[in-house]
Amino acid sequence: MACLLITSAGSLVADAILRCLRPLRPRLTIVGVNSVASAIAFGCDRLHRVPPTANRAAYETALRAVLEREKPDLVLAGRDEDIPALAAAVDHAAFPHPAFPLPPPALAPLFADKAQAHGFAVRHGLAFAPTALGGDAARALAHAHGFPLIAKPRGGAGSQGVLLVRNRAELERVADDTGLIVQAFLDPQGIGGDWKAALQPDAMPWRHGLTDLETTVELVIGPDGRVVALCGDHGVTAPPLRRAVRLVEDDALAAVGLGWAAALAAAGHRGPVNIQGKRLADGRFMPYEVGGRFGGTTVARALLGRNLVRDLVSSWLGWPSGPEETRRPLRMKGLGVSRLSPPLSWRRAFDETGEWTAPVDRRAAPGWPDLWLDADDDEARSAPLPERLGGAVPDVWALAAHAARHGLPFVPTIASPDEGETLACLSPSRLVVKPRRGEGPVHLLAPSDAMAALAGGDRVAQPALDAAALAEPRARWTALPALPWIWTVDDRVGAVEGAVAADGSVTAIRCALCAQRGGVPVAARALGDTPDRAAMVDALGRWGASLAPLGHRGPLRLTGSWDEGGRWLPFSASGRLNGLPPASDGDRDAEVRLLRPMAEPEID
- pLDDT tens column, 250-299: 999 999 999 999 999 999 999 999 999 999 988 899 999 999 999 888 98
Architecture of the CATH domain 412-464: 2-Layer Sandwich (3.30)
Which of these CATH numbers, 1.10.150, 2.60.120, 3.30.470, 3.30.70, describes 376-395+402-410+479-604? Answer: 3.30.470
- 55-64, 73-82, 188-197, 314-323: the lowest-pLDDT one: 188-197
Query: How far apart (Å, rounded) are the C-alpha atoms in residues 114 and 259?
Result: 18
With cut-offs at 50, 70 and 90, classify the pLDDT of residue 22: confident
Please report how the helices 531-547 and 396-406 are oriented relative to each other, as an axis angle in degrees rounded to 10. Answer: 90
Cβ neighbours around 463 below 10 Å, total: 21
Higher-pLDDT residue of 341 and 102 is 102
How confident is the prediction for the chain on average, in pLDDT? 88
- Per-residue pLDDT, averaged over 449-478, amounts to 90
Reported as a single tens digit per residue, the pLDDT across 461-471 is: 999 988 778 88
> Both ends of the chain: CA-CA distance in Å?
43
Query: How far apart (Å, rounded) are the C-alpha atoms in residues 149 and 353?
Result: 48
Query: How far apart (Å, rounded) are the C-alpha atoms in residues 344 and 578?
Result: 21
Ordered alpha helix ranges (H), 503-554: 531-547
Q: Which residue type does 235 have? A: G
> Comparing 1-100 with 114-201, is the CATH topology the same?
no
- Per-residue pLDDT, averaged over 193-218, amounts to 86
Higher-pLDDT residue of 581 and 363 is 581
Residues in the chain: 604
With cut-offs at 50, 70 and 90, classify the pLDDT of residue 325: low
Reported as a single tens digit per residue, the pLDDT across 489-498 is: 999 999 999 9
What share of the chain has pLDDT > 90, as a percent?
Answer: 63
pLDDT for residue 220: 97
Higher-pLDDT residue of 428 and 258 is 258
pLDDT for residue 378: 45
Query: How far apart (Å, rounded) are the C-alpha atoms in residues 75 and 80?
Result: 14
Query: How far apart (Å, rounded) are the C-alpha atoms in residues 14 and 31?
Result: 11
Residues 26, 52 contacting (CB under 8 angstroms)? no
- 26-30, 193-197, 499-503, 529-533: the lowest-pLDDT one: 193-197
pLDDT for residue 94: 64
Q: Is the pLDDT score of 600 beyond 70? A: no
Q: Of all helices (H) and strands (E), which one includes residue 264?
A: helix 251-266
Higher-pLDDT residue of 583 and 352 is 352
Secondary structure of residue 209 in the 3-state scheme: strand
Query: How far apart (Å, rounded) are the C-alpha atoms in residues 489 and 26?
Result: 41
Q: Is the pLDDT score of 42 beyond 70? A: yes
pLDDT for residue 164: 93
Higher-pLDDT residue of 265 and 375 is 265
With cut-offs at 50, 70 and 90, classify the pLDDT of residue 379: very low
CATH number given to 1-100: 3.40.50.20
Q: Is the pLDDT score of 551 beyond 50? A: yes
- Per-residue pLDDT, averaged over 535-543, amounts to 98
The topology under which CATH files domain 114-201 is: Dna Ligase; domain 1 (3.30.1490)
Please list the residues that pair with 500 across neighbouring strands.
Answer: 506, 554
- Per-residue pLDDT, averaged over 297-325, amounts to 85
Residues 196, 477 contacting (CB under 8 angstroms)? no
Does the reported pTM lie above 0.85?
yes
pLDDT for residue 93: 62
Query: How far apart (Å, rounded) are the C-alpha atoms in residues 390 and 388?
Result: 6
pLDDT for residue 239: 62
Q: Of all helices (H) and strands (E), which one includes residue 288?
A: strand 285-291
What share of the chain has pLDDT > 70, as a percent?
Answer: 88
Query: How far apart (Å, rounded) are the C-alpha atoms in residues 295 and 231?
Result: 12
- Per-residue pLDDT, averaged over 21-47, amounts to 93
- Per-residue pLDDT, averaged over 137-149, amounts to 95
Query: How far apart (Å, rounded) are the C-alpha atoms in residues 186 and 477?
Result: 26
Query: How far apart (Å, rounded) are the C-alpha atoms in residues 167 and 276?
Result: 25
Query: How far apart (Å, rounded) are the C-alpha atoms in residues 566 and 465?
Result: 10
Kindly list the domain boundaries of the chain, sorted by start residue.
1-100, 114-201, 376-395+402-410+479-604, 412-464
Query: How far apart (Å, rounded) are the C-alpha atoms in residues 303 and 595?
Result: 15
Query: How far apart (Å, rounded) are the C-alpha atoms in residues 82 and 80?
Result: 5
With cut-offs at 50, 70 and 90, classify the pLDDT of residue 413: very high
Please list the residues that pair with 510 across neighbouring strands.
Answer: 497
CA angle at 459 for the pair 455 and 463, rounded to the nearest 5°: 100
Residues 83, 293 contacting (CB under 8 angstroms)? yes
